[in-house]
Amino acid sequence: MRTAVIVTTYNRPNALAVVLEGYCGQSDQDFGLVVADDGSKEDTAEVVRQFARRAPFSVTHIWHEDRGFRAAAIRNRAVASTSVDYVIFTDGDCVPSRHFVKIHKQLAEPGYFLGSNRVLLSDELTARVVRERIPIHAWSGMEWARSWSRREVNRVLPLLKLPDSQFRKWSPDRWRGIKTCNLSVWRTDLVRVNGLDASYEGWGLEDSDLVIRLLHAGVKHKNARFAATVFHLWHPEHDRMQLPVNQERLQDLLRSSTVRAAIGLDELSSLG
């Protein structure tokens, strides 16, 4: 199964460098990595170039001009740059656990998308990880337990590993809480729903929109929690000025049967 990991980033090269190291440490390295860059400056491109020289898999850097928060559009460009079977979405501030890619591939199943969760790091631990390039992707359960005891992470329960079984399909229509920091889907299903909807402006809910349209298209949710975790590096909250407008848009979508994005993969050439 040809697989691409799409890592979205914006002007945070030090965090991205830590995340990329996490992919070098994956137990399954049979994938390509695409950095979906929402308009970062040259220092991010340099991080990607240096990493690509030594990565054991292909690395592609997809960039567009910085015209505000356009994560949906750059993710679509990243999807369009690939011809893989399966796409794993994540973010440039989310360090993958060691078996992250392996588990997403193992749990992948036709007719389903996978949603999983994250462990949140404190600002103090994040600063230390980024400054010292600490390989948290290789930490043991004991090391995470120690961090939790020091209140450096919000929880450790997601680090429990449960096998693939029927419980993973107990909530086939779930969309709440599923984010593109830890989401995987067949590329054919992405094409069917026209990718993410770039008509969402500013931060918030473009990932929920994608998941709801996948559900409208008959693609069901499969739970990848307690299997494929990412470790989220702390950052200040994004500007949420556009969130109320995006919430209204999402409510309209929930009342509809819409499957295809208004401005998606097919409209990339018009976005500039």
pLDDT in tens, 100-136: 999 999 999 999 999 999 999 999 999 999 999 999 9
pLDDT per residue as tens digits for the range 171-199: 999 999 999 999 999 999 999 999 999 99
85 C-beta neighbours (distance < 10 Å), count: 14
CATH code of the domain covering residue 17: 3.90.550.10
d(CA 139, CA 59): 25
d(CA 71, CA 53): 26
Q: β-strand 118-120 against 32-37: which pairing, if any?
A: unpaired
236 C-beta neighbours (distance < 10 Å), count: 6
Q: What is the number of domains present in the chain?
A: 1
d(CA 169, CA 102): 19
* Residue ranges in 133-270 assigned as alpha helix (H): 141-149, 187-192, 206-216, 243-254
**Which residue type occupies 81?**
S
Question: Beta partners for 8?
Answer: 36, 91
Q: β-strand 112-115 against 94-96: which pairing, if any?
A: unpaired
Task: Report the pLDDT value the prediction gives residue 231, as an integer from 0 to 100.
Answer: 98
Beta strands in 101-140 (DSSP E): 112-115, 118-120
**Domain residues for 119?**
3-270
Tokens of 42: 């040259």
Q: How far is CA 36 from CA 20, 136, 216, in A?
A: 13, 23, 26
Angle CA(71)–CA(76)–CA(78) in degrees, nearest 5?
A: 95
Confidence bin at 243 (pLDDT 50/70/90) = confident
pLDDT per residue as tens digits for the range 27-64: 999 999 999 999 999 999 999 999 999 999 999 999 99
The H or E element containing residue 91 is strand 86-91
- Decide if pLDDT at 271 tops 70: no
Lowest mean pLDDT among 46-50, 220-224, 233-237, 259-263: 233-237
pTM over 0.85: yes
